[in-house]
Amino acid sequence: MSPRHWECFLTLQLLLCLFLETSVQAPSDSASELNVIAGHNVSLSGTTLVPGNYTSFTWIYATDQKIIEWYGSNETKSFESELRDRVHLDDQGTLFINKVQKKDSSTYTLQVLWVGGEEQEWTIQLQVHDCVSQPTIRVEVERKEKSTCRVKLLCETQDQHVKYTWFGNSGPLPQDKALEITHTPEKYSKFYTCQVSNPVSSKNDTTNFISPCTLAHSCGAHWSAAWLLITVPVVLSFLLA
């Protein structure tokens, strides 16, 4: 894949993410995990409750901190917590959290008391992440002999706990923060792209070589901007069709 095709693929990924809704719905499993971006609105649904089939239900934060309780006639009771001013319920048991924060990451449990006295609960693990920051590739070239060079690439980012993924024009490369590769006139990659990602976002940087030992001046940012001017209207027309 050429540098331009790779930039095209990554930019399209970004565009599609921009059109996603900021409200995220958790799956209705007995135990599930949800990764979301900080600042988004989230709805947690352990199960779909049918009014008349239950007498009360309660959402619990962590192990024992009650958040809010529904106990009949659409009456609710909120409990003292950092979430108190940012949550509300519907009568189907869904918990809505406005503008989630990283400190909201925890286990959320829905406890239901059914008509007839049976109790049941569902658990959701919520993880709130910041978007990753823009990485930068630092390149060191050490000439060994003639046109053969030892190339060291370091993907630098201020974020922690991110995944590093490298690509060259021959395809995927070892996934690590740093790469060390020997370039020869017969075998070297024309470009290297480092992508840093977490469960909710990703960003990348690309460096180009015009010979085994010579870096090219990067013009990818200018090309991406021009490509966006053409692509955004096309994607919008497709989504609105």
Regions of the chain with pLDDT less than 70: 1-31, 217-241
- Residue-level pLDDT at 17: 41
- Residue-level pLDDT at 15: 43
Backbone phi and psi for residue 197, each to the nearest 5 degrees, phi listed first: -150, 155
Three-state secondary-structure class, residue 221: helix
Model pTM? 0.69
Q: Please report the domains of the chain, with CATH numbers, ordered by start residue.
A: 21-129 (2.60.40.10), 132-240 (2.60.40.10)
- Residue-level pLDDT at 39: 94
Is there a contact between 95 and 89 (Cβ–Cβ < 8 Å)?
A: yes
Q: List pLDDT tens digits, range 112-123.
A: 999 999 999 999
Can you point out the beta strands (E) in the chain?
23-25, 31-37, 41-44, 54-61, 65-70, 76-78, 87-89, 95-97, 106-114, 119-129, 136-145, 148-156, 163-168, 171-173, 178-183, 191-198, 201-211, 214-215
- Residue-level pLDDT at 57: 94
- Residue-level pLDDT at 76: 87
Q: List pLDDT tens digits, range 181-194.
A: 999 999 999 999 99
- Residue-level pLDDT at 24: 53
